[in-house]
Copies of this chain bind each other. A is one copy, B any other.
Amino acid sequence: MSGRIFPTAQDAENAFYDALERCDLDGMMAVWAEDEDIVCVHPGGARLTGQDQVRESWGRIFAAGPRARVHITQQVAISAMMLAVHSVHENFTVEGDARAQVPMIATNVYLRTAAGWRMIVHHASPAPVQAAPVQPKEAAPKFLH
């Protein structure tokens, strides 16, 4: 597993979406905590838990190679000392496909570990097809302490 250290939850989130765009499996797994309680729900998918299931699922997703770009909007972030929760809209654009994609709604949870911040939960589900963003709010992160 990578020894990469993310000093903030936002750094981990940036690395997550960077790895996702690049279909970089090692980069993706370097973002996740080395913990059997990690939880990953892909859009329309079952709940996966633990390193093996999560790695295997990203491996399948990445097998087709990089085709999509993702632009993150409408982040709501709530941070405490050891855990941080980010709710975001993932806006994908697919190479060679000009159609607008439905955004995915993701809840991402990060844990502060001895090796920096790591992802412990990624739960994504498609927004309704016709839903415009309910509130175009760019909230400032909230820090509890």
Q: How many residues of A contact B (CB 8 A)?
A: 42
A134 near B39: Cβ-Cβ < 8 Å: no
Candidates B46, B123, B137, B142; contact of A131 at CB < 8 Å? B46
B145 near A105: Cβ-Cβ < 8 Å: no
User: For A48, what are the chain B residues with a Cβ–Cβ distance below 8 Å?
Assistant: 134
Q: CA of A142 to CA of B53 in the docked complex: distance in angstroms? A: 20
Measured CB to CB, the nearest residue on chain B to A47 is B105
B81 near A81: Cβ-Cβ < 8 Å: yes
A10 at the interface (CB under 8 A from B): no
Task: Give the segment of A23-31, A61-69, A82-90 that binds chain B.
Answer: A82-90
A12 at the interface (CB under 8 A from B): no
